Amino acid sequence: MKPIIKVESLSKQYRLGSVGTGTLSNDLKRWWHQVRGKDDPFLKIGESNDRSTKGKSEYVWALKDINFEVMPGEILGIIGKNGAGKSTLLKILSKVTGPTTGRIDYNGRIGSLLEVGTGFHPELTGRENIFLNGAILGMTKREIRAKLDEIIDFSGCERYIDTPVKRYSSGMTVRLGFAVAAHLDPEILIVDEVLAVGDAEFQKKAIGKMQDISKGGGRTVLFVSHNMGSLRQLCTRGLLIGKGQVTCEGSIDTVIDEYLQNVSKRTEYNAPLGETEVFIRKAYFEREKQGYLFSEEVKIIVEVASKIQASNTSFSFAVVNKFDQRVFSNVYPFSCKIGNYRFSIKLPSKLLAPNHYSILLAVDIPNQILFDYVVSALSFEIIDEGSLLSKYTGHHGDIIIENNIDLVKEPKPLK
């Protein structure tokens, strides 16, 4: 089967700061090369697209040597950090901007939803913008009129359809924009992160619609999102972009796992100098993984060292959310002798709601001596899997309260 999109050696370079070569003659020379379809004669070696570093060059490669193919009916999820080059890639695919080098072969009409209000004229009404977008996509007025009622109904903006779009909220604009892009029968639908602006009801409708047009209509979807649950639920294949380059390509599960492994999280703690009589020596995940699915358990190993004997010592830990609120904590009393101990903490599957969490650790004699206290010893992410969240029962705060959970096992002496 022939691919519907084929991208070969695609690169995009931007110049930071001022635009232009600096002289009129060089600007004309650049224009003349572009007219003849030749490479820019003033193209310089640029730096990789790392937004966290200052850099020495005024040129940056937003994309560098991108190669991939998309087959008809495939839903491709494009993943990456902010600034990795995802939106630049979609803009080139949508012909909003052109590549610096490389080529793209298409085999179909493209419908895009890149930003809130893309392709909409603010002074025109919602109805007029539907016809405008349809015309841009190459649809005739008769074809647009045949789909008009379906588009308006899907968007949920019927009451405001004859009101200028400039008076729409961002959510209403996204609703109408997606409805137009999805219903005007493009062979290729490109959707950026804009669905995050919509409410939960619309996101569910939008994902369902993308599945329908892919499976039922055989159309291709390119979907960018930071919601791992939506990507896993919707996409069949994934593309991971980092610093303007493709770093992983394959099944959506493989690409998401690779992305989560590279997210900046704290996966290990080692004690600094200045140890107390009893101190937390080391903490780490049993499986070195920075993102865990809602249906996966999280197992943490904590090593404690003691230079004294204490019969009433307590080891405690807390799970802290991104707002620095303790959503769960537990205390385990134990008698320690001189030596090392290992605690095993198991957070069962479906215990923590999808969110970012950190682990607080402490060793003390209750109401007497605080031996050691480590804030954010470890951090991790619980990933939304979509439909599993509907199974919540009896939850409190960010976790489900369950009885008789053996979270901490008996400490084992270490040699």
pLDDT of residue 404: 31
Q: Are residues 134 and 169 in the same domain?
A: yes
Task: Answer whether residue 405 shows pLDDT above 80.
Answer: no
**pLDDT for 375-399, tens place per residue?**
888 888 887 765 444 344 333 333 3
**pLDDT for 294-345, tens place per residue?**
888 888 999 888 888 888 888 889 998 876 678 888 888 888 888 888 888 8
Q: Are residues 98 and 177 in the same domain?
A: yes
Final residue belonging to a domain, choices 229, 245, 261: 261
Is there a domain that residue 10 lies in? no
Helix (H, G, I), strand (E, B) or coil at 361: strand
Q: Are residues 299 and 239 in the same domain?
A: no
Q: Are residues 137 and 203 in the same domain?
A: yes
**154-163 burial, b if ≥16 CB within 10 A, otherwise e?**
bbbbeebbee
Task: Answer whether residue 127 shows pLDDT above 90.
Answer: yes
Final residue belonging to a domain, choices 261, 294, 326: 261
Q: Mean pLDDT over all residues of the chain? A: 79
Query: What is the domain range of residue 166?
Result: 65-261
Domain count, the chain: 2
Interacting residues of 91 by C-beta distance below 8 A, sequence separation 6+: 97, 114
CATH of the domain at 126: 3.40.50.300
Q: Are residues 93 and 158 in the same domain?
A: yes
Please state the φ and ψ torsions of residue 235, each to the nearest 5 degrees: -90, 155
Q: How confident is the model at residue 125 (pLDDT cuts 50, 70, 90)?
A: very high
Show the tokens assigned to 142. Answer: 């008769």
Q: Are residues 94 and 230 in the same domain?
A: yes
Show the tokens assigned to 269. Answer: 């703690």
Is there a domain that residue 7 lies in? no
- The stretch 142-159 carries a mean pLDDT of 90
Is there a domain that residue 211 lies in? yes
Q: Are residues 293 and 391 in the same domain?
A: yes
Is there a domain that residue 272 lies in? yes
Q: Are residues 235 and 293 in the same domain?
A: no
Q: Are residues 357 and 402 in the same domain?
A: yes
**pLDDT for 209-262, tens place per residue?**
888 877 777 788 898 887 777 787 788 899 999 888 999 999 988 888 788 766
Q: Are residues 325 and 389 in the same domain?
A: yes
Interacting residues of 110 by C-beta distance below 8 A, sequence separation 6+: 93, 94, 95, 137, 186, 187, 188, 189, 190
Q: Are strands 339-347 and 326-336 parallel, antiparallel or unpaired?
A: unpaired
Task: Answer whether residue 81 shows pLDDT above 90.
Answer: no
Euclidean distance between CA atoms 174 and 164, whole angstroms: 14
CATH of the domain at 284: 2.70.50.60
Is there a domain that residue 229 lies in? yes
Is there a domain that residue 112 lies in? yes
Q: Are residues 369 and 398 in the same domain?
A: yes
Q: Are residues 76 and 193 in the same domain?
A: yes
**Percent of the chain whose pLDDT exceeds 90:** 15
- The stretch 195-202 carries a mean pLDDT of 71
Sign of the C-alpha dihedral computed for residues 293, 296, 297 and 300 taken in this order: negative
Final residue belonging to a domain, choices 229, 261, 293: 261
**pLDDT for 248-279, tens place per residue?**
999 988 888 788 766 556 677 787 655 678 88
Is there a domain that residue 34 lies in? no
Q: Which of 132, 164, 136 lies closest to 148, judged by CA? A: 132
Q: Which of 285, 287, 262, 316 lies closest to 379, judged by CA? A: 285
Is there a domain that residue 59 lies in? no
